Amino acid sequence: CARVCPTETLCEEACVREAAEGKPVEIGRLQRFATDTLMAKGIHPFTRAAPTGRKIAVVGAGPAGLSCAHRLAMKGHDVTIFDARPKAGGLNEYGIAQYKSTNDFAQAEVEWLLQIGGITIQAQPGQNVQQIAAAVIAEIERRTGKRF
């Protein structure tokens, strides 16, 4: 999210170093550097816990959905991400002008996140988020016999 999120507005303007020293921690640049360095070295700093047997659906394969799925996978859950677009990445994939995002970075980052295991992505082209969410809820109700 350091590539898309306006960290200079949301984080750096509120940074206590801004008031104390006149210069905030440049969190966006730090996050980009850390992520780029780990990806270039092929290092994934997180490990997956023992499988819990739980299956979780996440709707949306953008930065928030991917982050949620990754954290759940770290806890040992199996996660399926449903998205309306053919490629995962959300705003990182579809919201950045191509000349600003070189070397297919968004997809490289998605693949890097998926290295933890336990995460699958199902594209649902032609459906919007509300339709996907309704279908996921209907399937959960069908399997569990419970109404949500």
Average pLDDT over residues 101-111: 83
Alpha-carbon gap, residue 102 to 98, rounded angstroms = 7
Q: DSSP letter at 25?
A: -
DSSP one-letter string for 52-111: ---EEEEE--SHHHHHHHHHHHHTT-EEEEEESSSSS-THHHHSS-TTTS-TTHHHHHHH
pTM: 0.81
pLDDT at residue 37 is higher than 90:
yes
Alpha-carbon gap, residue 51 to 113, rounded angstroms = 18
Alpha-carbon 10 to chain mean position: 19
Query: Position 83: which residue type?
Result: D
Average pLDDT over residues 115-143: 90
Average pLDDT over residues 110-134: 91
Specify the pLDDT at position 9: 85
Distances (CA, A) of 112 to 19, 23, 50, 102: 36, 32, 20, 16
Task: Show the tokens assigned to 145.
Answer: 């016999």
Average pLDDT over residues 87-110: 81
Residue whose structure tokens are 């979780």: 56
